[in-house]
Amino acid sequence: MKKLLILTIALLLPIHVSAGGWTKAVKIKQLLLVEESKLLILLSSFNDPDGCHKDEGHLPNTGHIIMDPSINKAAYSMILSAYMAQKDVTFYVRNGCTGIWSDTAYANFGHIKTH
């Protein structure tokens, strides 16, 4: 009975535990506003702290990070400024991944730091 309980708990736990983390200092290559609440940010390189990047579906190579600019207005302004000035930025990604289309998973935005 004890072995069955341990097996059941192990099967119910997520396989990938998301810890989040900071990206390396990179440039923003592209911004794609999918809809008012979904902005995809494509970076010059992405070390993928959460290990969730999958961008092979509907529109391949469109982004690494997803954020909601309607909620994160100050961060969205910083992202636009850094993009236009081609400044290096680092992003903190958190809470795993979000998909939009099939075969996609984007790291969830947490924080931004400009350099």
* Residue 85 backbone class (left: φ over 0; alpha: ψ -120 to 50; beta: rest): alpha
- Residue 13: per-residue pLDDT: 45
Q: pLDDT for 72-109, tens place per residue?
A: 999 999 999 999 999 999 999 998 899 888 888 899 99
- Residue 62: per-residue pLDDT: 79
pTM, to two decimals: 0.80
Q: Which of 46, 45, 29, 38 is nearest to 93 (CA)?
A: 46
CATH number listed for the domain at residues 18-114: 2.40.50.110
Could you tell me which residue, 21 or 49, shows the higher pLDDT? 21
- 108 vs 99: CA distance, rounded Å: 10
Q: pLDDT for 56-75, tens place per residue?
A: 766 777 789 999 999 999 99
